[in-house]
């Protein structure tokens, strides 16, 4: 039997970073994603976010890749949001996402960070947070 533990911190936003995820909708979406992940055997350890984005801490299974997991989470949840008319317009997630590996020794710290998103974003915007991710991980962002 194969034993795999690859932690990934996944962050994705609403299309054009529109602040569509008010508290009520966000919690409904998060709960739905939790159920959907369980059904699809995606090990989701933590999920939370703010008005325009979500953070997930996922442990990839031995036959999973981050692009497929992100597609399953984002695609299915956007269909669910639209079919349940949670917002008045057509809901879409941004095509892109951030994903970084997380050391086993830092899992509890990342969980705390994810769980405290509302407090965190009272001090810093998602745009500022995104810029910090880009700088910290040395990503080159291509702007249109």
pLDDT in tens, 33-83: 999 999 999 999 999 999 999 999 999 999 999 999 999 999 999 999 999
pLDDT for the residue numbered 142:
58
The tokens describing 76, both together, are 């299915």
Separation CA 5–CA 75 (nearest Å) = 24
pLDDT, tens only, 89-108: 999 999 999 999 999 999 99
What domains can you pick out in the chain, each with its CATH number?
6-137 (3.30.70.1290)
Distance (Å) of CA 144 to CA 82, 131, 134: 27, 16, 16
Q: Phi and psi (nearest 5°) for 47?
A: -150, 140
What is the C-alpha separation between 83 and 130, in angstroms, rounded? Answer: 30
pLDDT at 14 over 90: yes
Residue 144 reports pLDDT greater than 60: no
Q: How far apart are CA 119 and CA 110, in angstroms?
A: 15
Alpha-carbon distance of 2 to 5, in angstroms, equals 10
């Amino acid at each position: 039997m194969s034993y795999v533990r690859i932690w990934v911190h996944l962050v994705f936003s609403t299309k054009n970073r529109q602040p569509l995820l008010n508290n009520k909708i966000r919690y409904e979406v998060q709960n739905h994603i939790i159920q959907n992940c369980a059904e699809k055997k995606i090990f989701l350890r933590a999920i939370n976010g703010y008005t325009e984005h979500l953070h997930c801490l996922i442990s990839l299974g031995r036959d999973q890749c981050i692009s497929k997991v992100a597609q399953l989470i984002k695609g299915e949840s956007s269909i669910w949001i639209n079919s349940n008319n949670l917002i008045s317009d057509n809901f879409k997630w941004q095509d892109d996402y951030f994903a970084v590996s997380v050391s086993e020794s830092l899992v509890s710290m990342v969980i705390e960070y994810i769980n405290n998103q509302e407090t965190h974003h009272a001090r810093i915007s998602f745009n500022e947070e995104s810029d910090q991710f880009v700088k910290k991980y040395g990503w080159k962002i291509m702007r249109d």
